[in-house]
Amino acid sequence: MTTLTAFALVGIAIVLLEALCWGLSVLSARFFSTSTPNRRQFLSDQSRMLDRLINGPPRRETLHPVLGWAYRAGYSSEADRFSAQGLRASREYAPEPPPGVRRVAAFGDSYVYCNDVADGDSWPAQIEAGWRSEVLNYGVGGYGADQALLRFRAEAALLKPHIVVMGFTSMMSTRVVSRYRRFQDPGDGPWFKPRFLLDGDSLRLVPSPVASREDAERLLASPASVADFGTNDFWYNPAVLGHWPYAWSATYRFVTCTALGIRRRYITRDRIYKGGALNPESESFEIITRIFVEFAAAVRAGGAEPLALMLPARSDVDTYARLGRASYETLRARLQDLGLRVIDVASALTSSPSTPTELFGPRGHYSARGNAIVAGAVAEFLGLPPRSWEESVRSTRESRI
């Protein structure tokens, strides 16, 4: 075999290997959620979205100096409206709750905010319409339990709730160890967030790396500097932005991303899920536990009652129907052992005669029907008195003013 022939065979083998790994990357992303992002596309998408966020027309989301992002107070669209107090509401709430009305403040992510349904179909609004109560909706899509706690600290006392609810979804477990949402999911938006680190017996706050327009402009001027934010981010893959072969070799991209994905999911002691449930040995689990402990202590110190609300995604409802438990069962048990009142609405959803397709919308959040079941379960757990028919009609009318 001549040297030229040997080089040709090596070249052909490299091309075939590259093609194979490119195909495997596509299949892995499709069936196993293992992402091999394109470096140039990752950075260009980041700049495009950041520029739109700070220089485009006003939108629902805005940068926030503490929370990373927030919904714009007073914003209104066909899908949702916000009060001047920054709540999902069609009206303003008085500084003090009316006599005989229990005021509930609800913090959390999109399952508290209630993506994909109209304002009046959200479970907080349905509780307010059907029971003698006011339910203040502080939910923000994509939030981790850390951001929910920080918003609670800043805003909850202003409107003097009797009960403060922290909603929890299993997705929050991946978010509390993140600083940039696109490190976990390159298809996500340009969302940077604060996070807590374990520091002895307490939590230490690491601020959001992009918390102002000036921060965003610096990142626009130097997009690749986003790699600096990979410190203390569980989802950061240093190969994507820091290894030169990554940009040129599909094989290198597939091997590095797949190996890291397998390690995160199945090997490391710090993996977020273990045996289909949240892993009690993980940093994420310990951070969430401490967040709830601090939340409960602060709520009680303010004279209100804390409540942890477990909000199952569709996969959790399916698992609960088969096995009688959801992926957050380990956390629910831990919080109850710590003396926190916990309500899990999975049983109410699975015992409903409605099918999962009727309970969930096409994008995975609760439908109007699903929100109604959650509203009923929460109201019953809290012992809220039902409104009379006349009160319900009046409440509904007032919410639309």
Helix locations, 96-237, DSSP H: 110-113, 123-130, 145-155, 172-175, 181-184, 213-221
How far apart CA 287 and CA 37 sit, in angstroms, is 28
* Span between the terminal Cα atoms of the chain, in Å: 85
pLDDT for position 248: 81
Q: Which helix (H) or strand (E) holds 332?
A: helix 329-337
pLDDT for position 4: 52
Work out the number of other CB atoms within 10 angstroms of the CB of residue 185: 14
Weakly modelled stretches of the chain, pLDDT under 50: 7, 10, 17-18, 31-32, 396, 399-401
pLDDT for position 257: 78
Tell me the HSE value of 136 on the side-chain side, using a 13 A CA sphere: 32
Using DSSP's 3-state secondary structure scheme, residue 285 falls into helix
pLDDT for position 83: 95
Can you read off the two tokens belonging to residue 382?
């809290």
pLDDT per residue over 333-389, tens digit each?
999 999 999 999 999 999 999 999 999 999 999 999 999 999 999 999 999 999 875
User: Domain 65-177+274-399: what homologous superfamily?
Assistant: SGNH hydrolase (3.40.50.1110)
pLDDT for position 259: 82
Rg (CA), the chain: 23
How far apart CA 303 and CA 301 sit, in angstroms, is 5
How far apart CA 153 and CA 138 sit, in angstroms, is 12
Task: Give Cβ neighbours of residue 66 (< 8 Å, ≥ 6 apart).
Answer: 150, 154, 194, 207, 208, 211
Q: Residue 114: name the closest of 105, 104, 125 by CA.
A: 125
Task: Give Cβ neighbours of residue 90 (< 8 Å, ≥ 6 apart).
Answer: 81, 83, 119, 399, 400, 401
How far apart CA 324 and CA 329 sit, in angstroms, is 10
- What's the mean per-residue pLDDT of the chain? 90
Share of the chain above pLDDT 90, in %: 78
Give CA separation, 401 vs 71, 90, 92, 129, 236, in Å.
Answer: 21, 7, 10, 14, 46
**Residue 145 phi, psi (nearest 5):** -60, -25
pLDDT per residue over 139-169, tens digit each?
999 999 999 999 999 999 999 999 999 999 9
Find the angle CA(60)-CA(61)-CA(64) to the nearest 5 degrees.
Answer: 140
How far apart CA 292 and CA 358 sit, in angstroms, is 32
Work out the number of other CB atoms within 10 angstroms of the CB of residue 244: 9
Strands (E), 179-290: 195-199, 202-206, 273-274, 277-278
pLDDT for position 298: 97
Phi and psi based region of residue 251 (left: phi greater than 0; alpha: psi -120 to 50; beta: remaining): alpha
Q: Residue 195: name the closest of 185, 182, 181 by CA.
A: 181
Give CA separation, 50 vs 43, 70, 136, 189, 216, in Å.
Answer: 11, 15, 30, 9, 7
Helices 368-382 and 123-130: crossing angle in degrees, nearest 10, is 60
pLDDT per residue over 191-209, tens digit each?
999 999 999 989 999 999 9
Amino acid at 342: V
Can you read off the two tokens belonging to residue 50?
């950041």
> Where do the domains of the chain lie?
65-177+274-399
- pTM (2 d.p.): 0.91
How far apart CA 94 and CA 287 sit, in angstroms, is 34
pLDDT for position 394: 55
Q: Residue 189: name the closest of 61, 374, 317 by CA.
A: 61
How far apart CA 163 and CA 12 sit, in angstroms, is 67
